[in-house]
Chains A and B, each alone.
Chain A
Amino acid sequence: MVKIATMNLNLKPKKFLIVEDLANMRKAIRELLYTLDVQHIVEVANGLNAITAMKKERFDVVLCDYNLGEGKNGQQVLEEARFRKLLPCSAIFIMVTAEQNQSMVLGAMESKPDEYLTKPFNGQQLLMRLERNQVKKEFFADIEQAIEAGNYSLAIQHCDNKLQEDNRKMHLHLQKIRAELAVNTGDFKKAESIYHEVLLARELSWARLGLGLIAYLQSDYESATEVFQQLIDSQPMMLEAYDWLAKAHEASGDYLTAQAALDKATKISPQAILRHKKLAALADKTGHLEIAEKAYLSAVNLGKNSVHKSSGDFSGLAKIYSKTNNSAAALSTLKDMRKQYINDPEAELRAAALETEVYQQIGDEELSEQAYRTAQDLCEKLGDNIPNDLRMDVIKAHYLKGNDESANAILDQLIKNNIDDEHFIGDVKTMLGSIGSEHHADALIAPIKQALIEINNKGVDLFKRGKLLEAMRVFEEAAEIMPENKTIMINMIKILIYDLKKSGFNQHKLARAQALIKKAAKYGVNADKIGNMLMQLEKMSAVNESKV
């Protein structure tokens, strides 16, 4: 067991990175670190250099000021470092802020630092924080490593063992991690009982949020919205609750209320780029083009310093301008995008597909035709690597140019792959509606839906009668036609797992199941389902290893 008593932390071998824009402050922090016996210090004056430094070497401690003047702020540095995996599990990231109680507002959607430290601070204060974090990191290291490696059953085992040690100081945090692991492996009963236990002692927002999340994942959107709304009522600054409230409303088809929740959250904390993206897409859907324009603009601006920068935000903004017949603004937005994404075929395709439409709008057939040809070339080049939203732009361009054959071919594939995603099918209908082909949509969608239902019924029926091979073959054939369809992927994985459990370990089947799970995760199957399937596989391979 790890001892919690204050240990004497030896900082000599530790590598420190100071991120601070003011030379005086950098010097002050450096001097302070010297008094703590720190020997390896790298200093940088801005976020960009911080990322470069972290790419070059692995730091044990990062002291990063939130306010870095021009360029990336501290939160953006943290997000990028985590996203690019520049920080090992054991590293301590300390966000240095000017004011207390900023954590909520700064806490963007997923990245949180290990510690906030308010300045000015002295050596003793820093040393104590480092020691505390070090003890905590060491205590949770095996769990974190197992999670990082995607081995949930091992993480749960470590967690359960530690819970039995009855370490008062770590107990609550262990419960939190255990509940999250339960959620991520679809064990909602376990998660729920932990959250209830915590809430019995104290009304803590993360536990309440967890209950809402469980309701959400079980598609009980009414209970979920109720929980999230209550949290917001009592904690109006809790941004996570707004994000989940929006998700729950969106899932139940109430796009307007979802939009309102995100709109409010972006006003409280205008820095979180992912939230702006989400809001932009929603407002576009509900036809609130002014809100969409503003949100896309924010996403584009924040993108300059963010790892979440994407060409899709530029084309999204251009589409809004095109919808409001502001062709000049649409074209100049696309021009800006090209400047920022040189030699990026996806960005070029986004631009070309939209230019086809916009030039046609303003009656410049020649430029429209030219853009269309560029788009076709790029489609060829990109092949299957085109995101769904961009495929829709391409389809639209084909239709506008009267090339129904190409449009239908892509559309048919797109619908087949996503037939079980109600919201996406809704987007397809809206797109077809915008070019006056609503009926075409229904004619395309209905038979595919029917076919999927039939395949599913047939496969499930065979499975129930124990004919695993035949069931598998049905889904395999279906996967040929709709390779990205999630329902089919999940069914195949379920059959493989059942087969493995029943007829014993088989390396080939295991590998196949693992590959399918990876694919399902890539195409957006919910994390709890993925986690649950992974865990079942891990248990089997663990049993097998112990036999050897």
Chain B
Amino acid sequence: MSTSPINNFPTILAASIHDIKNSLSTVCELIGQLAKLDGAAETPEFRQLEFEASRMNNSLMQLLILYKIDSALFCPVIDEYQVKDILDDVVAQQRGLMALGGIGLTVEYADDLYCYCDSGLINTVLISIIDNAHRYCRKTIVLSAYQSGDSVCFQVEDDGEGYPAELIADLSHPVANGPGNTGLGLFFAATIAGFHSNGAKNGRVRIDNDSRFKGARFRLFLP
């Protein structure tokens, strides 16, 4: 047995994250207030600040969820959602970020598209993938969703250089041993996909460089 004096790590972790997130919320709001003062909102520095705060927040979220999965304290809450609501939430959340560097985030979906999922988890996945796309794209990110056989596919495409070949090769294998080269965001996405099953069918993640805009394409299939 360990002789560590810390015997309640989950509580410490949760409390710390709570603390940091409170600070982050305050930071975000302060940025907003400062921006209003003299039209500074449009300066890249302000947008960068907002972007980094959002990234930190999402990383914390992932960390906590992965920790819970690891300690078997995790269970998705599956319900039916209108895909529109999920995507609208993502866009609302990323609103500030997109103004940074004049990048356009467009969404494409059919109003009558519905899926079964844990919407909070899917939100965390998509935010993280879009954050990543934001970093590597030139001007365009398109978030779309469509029916694909008996699954709903959430897709993020950009016009950047695309995923490196080894990353694509790596993720085509089931993720077994942690992030490795796959990047935390993709690892997280694949893990969450695995928690979305319908009967014998499991959710899955595919990445390639077949974007309509010549860059990276991320697809999350939820059965």
Q: Chain A: residues with CB nearer than 8 A to chain B?
A: 22, 24-25, 27-28, 31-32, 67, 98-101, 103-104, 116, 118-122, 124-125, 127-128, 132, 168-169, 172, 202-205, 235-238, 268
Contact = CB atoms under 8 A, between A and B. Distances in A.
Given A120-B21, A204-B79, A100 B124 contact: yes
A1 to B, nearest CB: 16
A264 to B, nearest CB: 13
B212 interface: no
Contacts of B96: 122
A28 B26 CA distance: 6
Given A25-B22, A100-B123, A118-B120, 8 more contacts: A98-B21, A100-B61, A100-B64, A101-B77, A101-B118, A119-B22, A202-B116, A237-B73
Contacts of A103: 77
26 contacts: A25-B26, A28-B25, A28-B29, A31-B29, A101-B68, A101-B75, A101-B76, A101-B118, A101-B120, A118-B120, A119-B25, A120-B28, A120-B29, A122-B28, A124-B92, A128-B89, A132-B85, A172-B80, A202-B80, A202-B116, A202-B198, A203-B198, A204-B116, A236-B75, A237-B75, A268-B73
Contacts of B114: 168
Contacts, number: 103
A32, A116, A125 — most chain B CB neighbours (10 Å)? A125
Interface string B58-79: 0001001100100011111111
A67 B118 CA distance: 23
Contacts of A235: 75
A104 B92 contact: no
B23 to A, nearest CB: 9
Nearest to A99: B64
Given A101-B121, A120-B21, A168-B112, A24 B26 contact: yes
Contacts of B61: 99-100, 118
Interface in B152-167: none
A127 B92 CA distance: 10
Nearest to A97: B18
B132 interface: no
B147 interface: no
Contacts of B32: 31-32
B25 to A, nearest CB: 4
B181 interface: no
A101 B24 contact: no
Contacts of B53: 120
Nearest to A198: B80
B33 A31 contact: yes
B211 interface: no
B43 interface: no
Contact of A238 (B25, B75, B124): B75
Contacts of A127: 92
B144 interface: no
Contacts of A24: 22, 26
Nearest to A101: B120
Given A120-B21, A168-B114, A202-B116, A101 B65 contact: yes
Nearest to A169: B82
A309 B185 CA distance: 45
Contacts of A124: 92-93, 95
B49 interface: no
Nearest to B223: A202
Given A24-B26, A25-B25, A100-B120, A125 B74 contact: no
Contacts of B76: 101
A238 B74 CA distance: 10
Contacts of B85: 128, 132
Contacts of B18: 67, 98-99
A99 B78 CA distance: 17
Interface string B19-53: 00110111011101100000000000000000001
Nearest to B75: A237
Contacts of A202: 78, 80, 116, 198
A98 B26 contact: no
A128 B198 contact: no
Contacts of B120: 100-101, 116, 118
B182 interface: no
Contacts of B64: 99-100
A119 B53 CA distance: 12
Nearest to A236: B75
A496 to B, nearest CB: 42
A241 to B, nearest CB: 11
Nearest to A98: B18
A103 B75 CA distance: 10
Contacts of B72: 236
Kindly list the 6 A-B residue pairs having the minimum CB-CB distance in the complex, ordered from nearest.
A28-B29, A120-B25, A237-B75, A124-B92, A98-B18, A100-B120
Contacts of A25: 22, 25-26
A28 B75 CA distance: 32
A29 to B, nearest CB: 8
A25, A122, A203, A205 — most chain B CB neighbours (10 Å)? A122
A119 B198 CA distance: 30
B169 interface: no
B14 A99 contact: yes
B75 A104 contact: yes
B140 interface: no
A305 to B, nearest CB: 18
Contacts of B118: 101
B88 interface: yes
Contacts of A238: 75
B57 interface: yes
Nearest to A96: B25
Contacts of B93: 121-122, 124-125
B70 to A, nearest CB: 14
B59 to A, nearest CB: 13
A31 B89 CA distance: 21
Given A31-B29, A168-B112, A120 B57 contact: yes
Interface string B171-197: 000000000000000000000000000
